[in-house]
Amino acid sequence: MLSIEWTATDGWLAPRITPYQNLSLDPASCVFHYSFECFEGMKAYVDPNGRTRLFRPDRNMARLNSSSARIALPTFDGKQFTDLIGKLVELDKAFIPNKRGYALYIRPTMIGTQKTLGVGPPGSALLYVICSPVGPYYPTGFKAITLEATTYAVRAWPGGVGDKKIGSNYAPCILPQQQAAKRGFQQNLWLFGEENYVTEVGTMNLFVAWVNKSTGKKELITAPLDGTILEGVTRESVLQLAKETLGKEGWDISERKFTMQEMKNAADEGRLLEAFGSGTAAVVSPIKGIEWKGEMVNVPLQEGTESGPIAQKVMQMMNDIQYGHVEGHPWR
Ligand SMILES: Cc1ncc(COP(=O)(O)O)c(C=O)c1O
């Protein structure tokens, strides 16, 4: 693990890479009482030449700095921190099987360590990174999921911190996910407001492909970054890849609000084409149905498969870049 301590008086101290080990913290440490914690999730991949590659680490660094700044934790130099993560990954390289689908999951974490029960900005912090090898999310091919649209709880709200990757955003989301699981759904879908705006799915961003009723054009749509949506690195990448591919085929690629009712109407009128979640863990997660207000909104899949064509294409393109099969790609 990589550890870097920070104090308000001395700033960042020398980084250390040590064996994975327990932390020793005073029980009064502010992380335990007031949730001074933020984190990132990223992966290192091994390319055909045996080299390790991080996927767009600058985006994770920017997001971690934005999260830490919001909860009065210190910020850091993203480039230097990426170099340190690179050193850790090199040391752990033997744990990453050199096969498509396998990677080293990297979890940068920052906590406030100040020993005080007084509520205030932490005078000390610890930035650390742990890793774990991960295998393919879908070892036997895609498995489309069903969602329960949560109408009794919200994940984020305007003026809140839904766009930050802070621990305190995650614990309250488990209960609705457990409730959905109890009723047989793999994930819950987060809605917002009386309009039932579609926001995110579990801990993934959400994409919907449909034929837009007013323009008659095919559209790939995702909720806009209005402060309530986590700014997914995969989301941003999918949007860009979609603009470069579907965009050239006449599709509209949109970041704007849309409602569950609009999705239901599209399904009822045969205009709904596909839906999938996007995130670092799975890259894309095809969706086959959403239960909303007691009714199932069915999402089409490509015949004989557990996915739609866009999710399949996105997975292929993303993996090609992540595993270094695209020479000189800027996201390597
Ligand atoms: C709430 C939430 N939304 C979306 C995402 C997807 O983000 P990314 O693509 O950066 O993994 C995550 C995962 O980090 C998340 O926790």
Asked whether the beta carbons of 288 and 274 are under 8 A apart, the reply is no
CA–CA distances in Å: residue 194 to residues 151, 175, 187, 229, 266: 9, 21, 21, 17, 19
CA of 314 to the centre of ligand 1 (A): 16
pLDDT at 332 over 80: no
C-alpha to C-alpha distance for 298 and 290, rounded to whole angstroms: 7
- Give the Å distance between the CA of 239 and the centre of ligand 1: 14
Contact 199, 229 (CB under 8 A): yes
Query: Phi, psi (5° rounding) for residue 279?
Result: -175, 165
pTM (two decimals): 0.97
DSSP state of 50: S
3: its two tokens: 């550890």
Which residues does ligand 1 sit against, CB inside 6 Å? 41, 200, 203-205, 230, 232-235, 278-280
Please name the residue whose Cα sits nearest to atom 5 of ligand 1.
204
Instruction: Please say whether the beta carbons of 125 and 110 come within 8 A.
Output: yes
DSSP symbol at 104? E
Would the pLDDT of 98 be above 90? no
State yes or no: pLDDT of 328 exceeds 90: no
Closest ligand 1 atom to 234 CA: 9
Distance 265 CA to ligand 1 centre (A): 28
The closest alpha carbon to 65, from 125, 2, 1, belongs to 125
Q: Which H or E run contains 265?
A: helix 260-268
Task: Tell me how far the alpha carbon of residue 202 lies from the centroid of ligand 1, in angstroms.
Answer: 9
The answer on pLDDT for 267 being more than 80 is yes
The rounded percent of the chain whose pLDDT value lies above 90 is 96
Q: What is the pLDDT of residue 97?
A: 87
CA 12 to centroid of ligand 1, rounded, Å: 27
pLDDT in tens, 300-324: 999 999 999 999 999 999 999 999 9
Are 203 and 155 contacting, i.e. CB atoms less than 8 angstroms apart? no
Q: What is the pLDDT of residues 9-27, one digit of tens each?
A: 999 999 999 999 999 999 9
What is the mean pLDDT of the segment spanning 38-67?
A: 97
> Between β-strands 204-211 and 197-201, what pairing exists: parallel, antiparallel or unpaired?
antiparallel
Query: What is the mean predicted confidence (pLDDT) over 200-229?
Result: 98
If one compares 73 and 332, the residue with the highest pLDDT of the two is: 73
CA 37 – CA 70 distance, rounded (Å): 11
Atom of ligand 1 nearest to the CA of 60: 10
Q: Is the pLDDT of residue 327 over 90?
A: no
For residue 59, the 8-state DSSP code is: H
Amino acid 140: pLDDT:
85
Residue 318 and residue 40: Cα distance in Å, rounded? Answer: 19
Confidence of residue 234 (pLDDT cuts 50, 70, 90): very high
Q: What backbone phi and psi angles, to 5 degrees, belong to 229?
A: -115, 135
Q: Answer whether residue 42 shows pLDDT above 90.
A: yes
Ligand 1 atom, smallest distance to 173 CA: 1
pLDDT level of residue 199 (50, 70, 90 thresholds): very high
The amino acid that residue 291 corresponds to is E
- The helices-and-strands tally (H runs, E runs) of the chain is 7, 17
Token pair of 300 as six digits: 């089409």
Which helix (H) or strand (E) is 233 found in, with range?
helix 233-244
The total number of residues shown for the chain amounts to 332
3-state SS record for 172-186: HHHHHHHHHHHCCCC
Choose among 265, 208, 269, 282: nearest CA to 242.
Answer: 208
Residue closest via CA to ligand 1's atom 1 equals: 203
